[in-house]
Amino acid sequence: MTSSYLIVLLLVISSTSTSSTREQEEDRIKELPGQPKVGFSQFSGYVTVNESHGRSLFYWLTESSSSPKNKPLLLWLNGGPGCSSIGYGASEEIGPFRINKTGSSLYLNSFSWNTEANILFLESPVGVGFSYTNTSSDLKDSGDDRTAQENLIFLIKWMSRFPQYQYRDFYIAGESYAGHYVPQLAKKIYHYNKTFNKSIINLKGFMVGNGDTDRHYDRLGAVTYWWSHAMISDRSYNSILKHCSFTENTNSNECDYALYYATVVEFGQVNGYSIYSPLCVPKTNQTKFMHGGILVEEEDPCTESYAEIYYNRPDWTVCNEILFKYWDWGNSDHSMLPTYKELMAAGLRIWVFSGDTDSVVPVTATRLSISHLNLTVKTRWYPWYSGNQVGGWTEVYEGLTFATVRGAGHEVPVLQPERALILLRSFLAGKELPRSY
């Protein structure tokens, strides 16, 4: 991104045109179909991030249910790559509403994150959810760099439309492949602010759950988790360790066979994103791309299909398989650890959390990655509490907090919404997780 373009964007975000009020009102949501009455404001709409290609990102803002003017702004990103922050984050995890089983109406989420912050859900990159491009080849040309840059452009333009948030405390959160999106966007914002020697976007920190962090440690940690949780045999475990490099994009034939035997023959029909939860057995062929069979707090295994029904546009899907298939993995950082080091040095608040029943990006992978940051321990490992139950375990380092969430899977707020909310409150307050009930 050139300096001249940054200056233009600065002028955009600094403008005080009355058009922002008009644009806000055009984006205001009066009421969603089947929505219970609420006392907070909602907005949704599009922000163009590339004029020549016609690329536009879709957002949904749910303002805080109490004192929104005094609450921070938190941007939520889902991963995939190619999965919807509306279909997952907003509708199954941290948003104010849940979708009922018929897909025809909504009910309130008792543990919505908008009790603590104004939540901005973003469908990113283009091709995800309601976000679109007028250039079809863009769907086969997505990668980390363009996603981060266009997320930054979105924020700058969005804050021009919503100037009341321009200097508000700002945080980013996400999960899964957002383990790339979140720190990469944070880095873009950090350098953008440095260009002008001021916090134009008042980024305070970020949190990542079960996030892709380092290609080698993510893969090694996953195999270790499978073996330690008796999902694969000793023979398969040793064969994978012997034949797989965990770093290269392509595997040897021996590695491919070992992985095939372990994950297809030995796994059985198990929900890898939450290994102790039941699978969804849908009546129709629902997508099994990235998040098949994810559960809500009642352990309903088919909530993904409810979102497909509720957001009832034929071209809308919870995950875009084309984006995943053609993702530019050569443009994907092998490791986010250098970015973590840079942003810790910049003084950002960084929390990493992990649901402990996820076998896809498991707690073992995250712990391996963190161990290679060689951080100084500030507060030793201890159990944290949710009510009178252990909510998980945590260790606080200089510059980073790590926490597990007991009984949660890949999408932590789905199975453990109350524990996820405690995690958020502690993060926003800059306090350690509660030691007792």
Taking the C-alpha atoms of residue 319 and residue 77, their distance in angstroms, rounded to an integer, is 13
End-to-end CA distance of the chain: 49
Give domain status of residue 14, yes or no.
Answer: yes
Average pLDDT over residues 293-305: 52
> Residue 401's pLDDT band (boundaries 50, 70, 90)?
very high
β partners of residue 207: 173, 351
- Separation in Å, CA 115 to CA 40, 421, 431: 10, 9, 18
pLDDT tens digit sequence for 149-177: 999 999 999 999 999 999 999 999 999 99
What local confidence, expressed as pLDDT, does residue 300 receive? 66
Cβ(405)–Cβ(416) under 8 Å? Answer: yes
What local confidence, expressed as pLDDT, does residue 138 receive? 86
What local confidence, expressed as pLDDT, does residue 285 receive? 40
Mean pLDDT of the chain: 91
- Separation in Å, CA 349 to CA 13, 86, 181, 346: 25, 26, 17, 9
Cα 6 to its chain centre, rounded Å, is 26
What local confidence, expressed as pLDDT, does residue 282 receive? 56
Tally the residues of the chain: 437
Average pLDDT over residues 212-223: 96
- Separation in Å, CA 184 to CA 34, 47, 190, 390: 37, 20, 10, 32
Cβ(83)–Cβ(127) under 8 Å? Answer: no
Q: Is the pLDDT of residue 238 over 90?
A: yes
β partners of residue 392: 384
Query: Which range has the worst mean pLDDT, 17-26, 79-88, 124-133, 172-181?
Result: 17-26
In the numeric block, the tokens 């252990």 are attached to 390
Top-confidence residue, 292 or 20: 20
Top-confidence residue, 94 or 297: 94
Name the pTM for this structure. Answer: 0.92
What local confidence, expressed as pLDDT, does residue 294 receive? 31
Give domain status of residue 291, yes or no.
Answer: no
Using DSSP bridges, classify how beta strands 118-123 and 55-62 pair: parallel, antiparallel or unpaired. antiparallel
pLDDT tens digit sequence for 63-85: 999 999 999 999 999 999 999 99
In the numeric block, the tokens 């994907």 are attached to 332
Q: What is the CATH classification number for the domain harbouring 155?
A: 3.40.50.1820
Give domain status of residue 167, yes or no.
Answer: yes
- SS (HEC) of the chain: CCHHHHHHHHHHHHCCCCHHHHHHHHHEECCCCCCCCCCCCEEEEEEEEECCCCEEEEEEEECCCCCHHHCCEEEEECCCCCECHHHHHHHHHCCCEEECCCCCCEEECCCCHHHCCEEEEEECCCCCCCCECCCHHHHHCCCHHHHHHHHHHHHHHHHHHCHHHCCCCEEEEEECCHHHHHHHHHHHHHHHHHHHCCCCCCEEEEEEECCCCEHHHHHHHHHHHHHHCCCCCHHHHHHHHHHCCCCCCCCCHHHHHHHHHHHHHHCCCCCCCCCCCCCCCCCCCCCCCCCCCCCCCCCCCCHHHHHHHHCCCCCCCCECHHHHHCCCHHHCCCECHHHHHHHHHCCCEEEEEEECCCCCCCHHHHHHHHHCCCCCEEEEEEEEEECCEEEEEEEEECCEEEEEECCCCCCHHHHCHHHHHHHHHHHHHCCCCCCCC
Give domain status of residue 192, yes or no.
Answer: yes
Query: Which range has the worst mean pLDDT, 202-216, 226-240, 242-256, 398-412?
Result: 242-256
Question: Position 3: which residue type?
Answer: S
Kindly state the tokens that stand for 317.
């899907």
Average pLDDT over residues 401-426: 98
Taking the C-alpha atoms of residue 89 and residue 124, their distance in angstroms, rounded to an integer, is 12
Q: Is the pLDDT of residue 132 over 90?
A: yes
Q: Is the pLDDT of residue 355 over 60?
A: yes
Q: Is the pLDDT of residue 315 over 90?
A: no
Maximum average pLDDT range among 224-233, 289-298, 306-315: 224-233
Cis peptide before 417, with omega less than 30 degrees from 0? Answer: no
Which positions are annotated as active-site residues?
A: 176, 358, 410
Q: Is the pLDDT of residue 14 over 80?
A: no
Give domain status of residue 409, yes or no.
Answer: yes
Q: Count of domains in the chain?
A: 1
Average pLDDT over residues 37-59: 96
Q: Is the pLDDT of residue 426 over 50?
A: yes
What local confidence, expressed as pLDDT, does residue 2 receive? 58
Question: Position 5: which residue type?
Answer: Y
Compute, in degrees rounded to 10, the torsion defined by CA atoms 14, 15, 21, 26.
-90
User: Helix axis angle, 234-243 relative to 215-228, nearest 10°?
Assistant: 160
Taking the C-alpha atoms of residue 365 and residue 218, their distance in angstroms, rounded to an integer, is 5
Give domain status of residue 282, yes or no.
Answer: no
Cβ(63)–Cβ(42) under 8 Å? Answer: yes
Give domain status of residue 249, yes or no.
Answer: no
Average pLDDT over residues 414-430: 98
Kindly state the tokens that stand for 403.
């926490």
Range of the domain at 184: 3-216+331-429
Give domain status of residue 261, yes or no.
Answer: no
**Residues in contact with 282: Cβ distance below 8 Å, sequence separation at least 6, in sequence order:** 302, 305
